[in-house]
Structure 1
């Protein structure tokens, strides 16, 4: 066990200070783990690989992965050859033209759905979500996509009405309102809405209300605006692809080390609490065992000019080294199901469009809805703008945390466990660069990268005065901090559900 820090203040003296205040005895709201319901992967054939299966099982155990979204279920390498429907084969090159015969496409999807029902049973298959196509590749809306969606939806419902089908699975949040309106008009089944968005997409460009591309929350504001359209139609909303962006870091354009750094971890902690109202939020992807242009077996892709344009989507490298974003999801795995409502961030020297780069949220209990622990999540994040990133990064900050708890709920403990993710403490990519970027790893090198991928954990003392406990820490650029404090059981906790409050416990 790490030694407890002797002082409750260990920030840098010359840094600006951000103040965070929270009331542990105040009202809490539900905090569903919607990011766990689905993580993305590559094409379906990858699921036959032993290393992919091992990484999936690890992700189930460590970050709560409950489902996988994949492409290419009907590729010919999955022994499906829709020659008659399309006039060509469904290999990875993609089907870039609509079916020549929608009746034959309907029959193919119906046979596929019936096969799944016969093999796995209605109890399982009815919990799956059939998303029609991906980003309308070769299927412009509405001329090609709408007939394709209609044939697919009717076919699946003919197998069993309980099978769930939706779309438009569009890039950049497009055609959400169009699909809702057109399916209502034509009486086509539609069980859910799905779309994709990345911070490197043209963001906030369609939104009103003073939003602009320099807004630190631009990505989540755009997604929530799209989700509101589905909510108005009483439809669940799935953000079925997202990540920290397709740009690679300041000045690098696409590719680069972006997703391998703490930038991605800070994005996760900053963004996901803002999207807790969505049914599904699916990170693309959980593993670098992935092929889109071609399969790359390098430990990390950054730094090789011949493949600089390739993007590393995964949370785990091909060798199973956890990236900083994976560690962020690992912290979230243990987050409580109750989120404190009364938390404020005060920054007298905001860096980003008059907004603080420091964000925070806190939960009570554990992932099972039990326990009394307090967990505070902090991120120092400022998004790069669009697909042409600037060199702007958020500066380090001292963060002073002031936590209140009613005396009747019990005393504060003297310490808490602080876990950190930043480019000094959790930096496997930097360690690989220092090794000279070896294209393959020997056992010793792999062990070093695993060690460098860990969070930095230490027990820290809390300054306790009656009902208040305080702590000051330094939060570096793109840094994440997680403070866990074990509390004695409270006699009463205010819980808000659907606009109503009730006393529990």
Structure 2
């Protein structure tokens, strides 16, 4: 089936904001103290180069920031930033700035015992808002002292996580969250007015009403807000079976409509029109128990989202970079359905390559559709990505036919393909019997099966146009480049006389 057949002009220009690598998500902060976590993040940074990283649990007790003690019968407070320094220092060594999520509640400052996740993050309001404000102030002043004021003002600060869900904020109490936001925002601005703060980090449930009320509150009470944050996921309600949960995907159009509505609400306030909206979490499924995260379908679907989310959002942070992650407990197998781009054992999943490809893409687009994006760099080389997500269990190939106007000369077409046959470590793992604890030899094989297939072809353009096809199987993802080349021929060297030098593409 042919789904595209048109002529592309190299000097054309179409709208495209490529913010795919601005931020990536992580599990709770204390996981950053583990070696496997560091190694997975290092691999991601070497290939993809995210700018920021965001995760939960900055103020949870396993980060050990907030302490109390008694002296002369009086309770006193002290702070310990040893672990957070280790974590943020490591982030900086990997070229990352923190997108700081302020939460959850230290046990000794909490008003209740409600917790969330395997690691029991406390999700109740502070028992004393002045002590909360002091904690925020002390933390930011420490960051300024250690990393420098001019550096810290480049870090976004987000107040809490998904307060519209009762599991993440007691009773999903809207007015209580507004109070938390107000106190936190004031404490931040008292440290430096240039530090940027935002919220409400909502996700799904009653999101339009929450966002409207939040912005009304900030507007009516003159509360500082520099950007809006929300989350978005693409799956319906889950069906649970053992350790796993299975869900159907929503259409990309349905997901994008949520973002459009949020954008419309923000822009309906004259003082907030055009304000940055950051999606500080997104993925297909919102549960770390869904095997979709390990699939080629996930990669192809996410590629489609990455091509469009920049139309409405200043950034969109994939949840998460790696599988050292414990919201529902420690994964039983390397392919457990966890969120990460890298599976435990240092195995890149197909979606890892979606972000790698978008990192190489740039943002100067010359053509775009629901199936592909093509950009041009400063040297007139072309870069493109094509995708074809298919949720149903059917085998359908589609062909994109491109005619690109180019100056006469020689060109190389480079294709990197990620599909269910050529870059599918999940299939290899299942074929080897789904070992919960793969051997070193099995891990080597899994990593080898997690690489894109690379193919090249030389073209001679004689009539100012280059024609080529990209055939995509179900859930394929394909990166391609077109570069002009200068052919050099050694004396007596004839490729046509050499077996394997000229092959059908």
TM range (shorter): 0.7 to 0.9
Determine if contact 2:342/2:348 at 8 Å carries over to the other structure.
Answer: yes
Aligned partners of 1:394 and 1:244: how far apart in 2? 21
State the match for 1:155 in structure 2: 187
Structure 2: runs of 5+ lacking an equivalent: 67-105, 238-248, 487-505
Determine if contact 1:169/1:240 at 8 Å carries over to the other structure.
Answer: yes
Aligned partners of 1:399 and 1:33: how far apart in 2? 22
1:222 aligns with 2:258: yes
Aligned partners of 2:128 and 2:180: how far apart in 1? 10
1:487 Cα deviation (Å)? 3.4
Aligned partners of 1:181 and 1:459: how far apart in 2? 56
List structure 1 runs of 4+ shifted beyond 6 angstroms.
none
Deviation by residue 1:49-94 (Cα, 9 ceiling, x = unmatched) = 1221222122122012111101000001111344553246898322
Deviation by residue 1:254-296 (Cα, 9 ceiling, x = unmatched) = 8443111111110122111111232111000000011102122
Match of 2:320 among 285, 300, 307: 285
1:147 Cα deviation (Å)? 0.7
TM-score by length of 2: 0.77
Determine if contact 2:322/2:339 at 8 Å carries over to the other structure.
Answer: yes
Name the structure with the higher strand share.
2
Select the structure with the greater relative contact order (CA < 8 A; seq sep ≥ 6). Answer: 1
Aligned partners of 1:176 and 1:381: how far apart in 2? 31
Match of 2:40 among 48, 55, 68: 55
1:63-212 paired onto structure 2 within 5 Å: 63-81=48-66, 82-87=106-111, 92-136=119-163, 137-139=168-170, 140-172=172-204, 173-174=207-208, 175-200=210-235
How many residue pairs match? The answer is 420
1:271 aligns with 2:305: yes
1:219 Cα deviation (Å)? 1.3
Structure 1: runs of 5+ lacking an equivalent: 1-15, 203-212, 248-253, 302-310, 346-357, 385-390, 490-505
1:178 Cα deviation (Å)? 2.1
1:460 Cα deviation (Å)? 3.0
1:90/1:487 Cα in 2 relative to 1: closer, same or farther (>3 Å)? farther
Determine if contact 1:194/1:237 at 8 Å carries over to the other structure.
Answer: yes
1:217/1:22 Cα in 2 relative to 1: closer, same or farther (>3 Å)? farther
1:492-503 paired onto structure 2 within 5 Å: none
Aligned partners of 1:446 and 1:285: how far apart in 2? 21
Deviation by residue 1:397-440 (Cα, 9 ceiling, x = unmatched) = 122222223xxxx2253541111111111110100111111111
Aligned partners of 1:31 and 1:99: how far apart in 2? 42
1:465 Cα deviation (Å)? 5.3
State the match for 1:314 in structure 2: 340
State the match for 1:402 in structure 2: 403
1:96/1:269 Cα in 2 relative to 1: closer, same or farther (>3 Å)? closer
